[in-house]
């Protein structure tokens, strides 16, 4: 199959997938639990950054779809094409890029700069902390560094459906079944000092992991 044919079928698949996901979203019911700074106020003038597991993308993003602009991060891979297209259709602001792999630039530095610029404009953010390729439930340092550089708080968030399909993928990706209830749970804000060391940033990642795990167990 030629490159052009392959790209065409990939585009068609992405768009068909979105039609299916959109139809599913309209059948779901949502319940929101836990504290969350959903709007800026005089005590919290900066936006915040949602921290979620990769497997919760559909449930969590759909719960906040078409409300207000929220930044998302997606790799430049074909999987990233799907995630970015879905996020854009839901009213999110996708930023493309990921960390360097095997000494190959994946656009991570430029993506980080763009993400920070948009946070500075007051746009909230969201990051799948164990994405784009895992290991599952291991928070990478990216979100801690973004919180450190931006001064924004991290808000751990989970999405657990009463009924769902689990895909046989590295993250055990969850797809809520039609007409199921999706419980969205928020944790307390996690702040990162601008003077934090790498060891302290790693500890922030461990805190995020513990919070997300605890929230899942409550749902």
Residue 178 CA from chain centroid, whole number: 22
pLDDT at 93: 96
pLDDT at 134: 92
Rounded Cα distance, 115 and 72, in Å: 9
DSSP-assigned beta bridge partners for residue 44: 41
How far apart, in Å, are the Cα atoms of 94 and each of 41, 52, 82, 124, 137?
25, 16, 11, 12, 22
pLDDT at 142: 93
pLDDT at 5: 64
Helix (H, G, I), strand (E, B) or coil at 172: coil
pLDDT at 10: 75
DSSP string, 37-59: --S-BTTB-S-EEEEE-GGGHHH
- DSSP, res 193: -
For the chain, domains (ranges, CATH) are: 3-218 (3.40.1130.10)
Q: What are phi and psi of 187, to 5 degrees?
A: -100, 180
Helix (H, G, I), strand (E, B) or coil at 183: strand
pLDDT at 41: 44
pLDDT of the chain along its 219 residues, tens only? Answer: 555 667 777 788 888 989 999 999 999 999 999 875 454 444 556 899 999 999 999 999 999 999 989 999 988 887 788 889 899 999 999 999 876 555 555 677 899 999 999 999 999 999 999 988 899 999 999 999 999 999 999 999 999 999 999 999 999 999 999 999 999 999 999 999 999 999 999 999 999 999 999 999 887
């Amino acid at each position: 199959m030629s490159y052009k044919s392959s790209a065409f079928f990939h585009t068609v698949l992405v768009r068909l997938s979105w039609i299916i996901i959109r139809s599913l979203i309209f059948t779901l019911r949502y319940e929101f639990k836990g504290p969350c700074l959903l709007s800026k106020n005089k005590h919290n003038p900066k936006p915040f950054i949602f921290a979620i597991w990769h497997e919760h993308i559909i449930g969590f993003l759909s719960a906040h779809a078409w409300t207000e602009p929220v930044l998302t991060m997606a790799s430049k891979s074909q999987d990233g094409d799907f995630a970015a297209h879905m996020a854009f259709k839901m009213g999110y602001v996708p930023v493309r890029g990921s960390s360097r792999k095997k000494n190959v630039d994946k656009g991570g530095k430029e993506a980080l700069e763009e993400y920070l610029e948009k946070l500075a404009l007051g746009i909230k953010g969201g990051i799948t902390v164990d994405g784009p390729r895992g290991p599952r439930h291991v928070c990478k340092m990216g979100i801690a560094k973004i919180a450190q550089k931006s001064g924004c708080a991290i808000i751990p968030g989970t999405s657990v459906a009463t009924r769902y399909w689990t895909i046989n993928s590295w993250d055990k990706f969850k797809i809520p079944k039609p007409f199921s209830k999706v419980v969205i749970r928020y944790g307390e804000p996690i702040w990162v000092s601008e003077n934090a060391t790498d060891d302290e940033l790693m500890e922030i990642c461990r805190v995020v992991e513990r919070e997300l795990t605890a929230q899942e167990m409550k749902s």
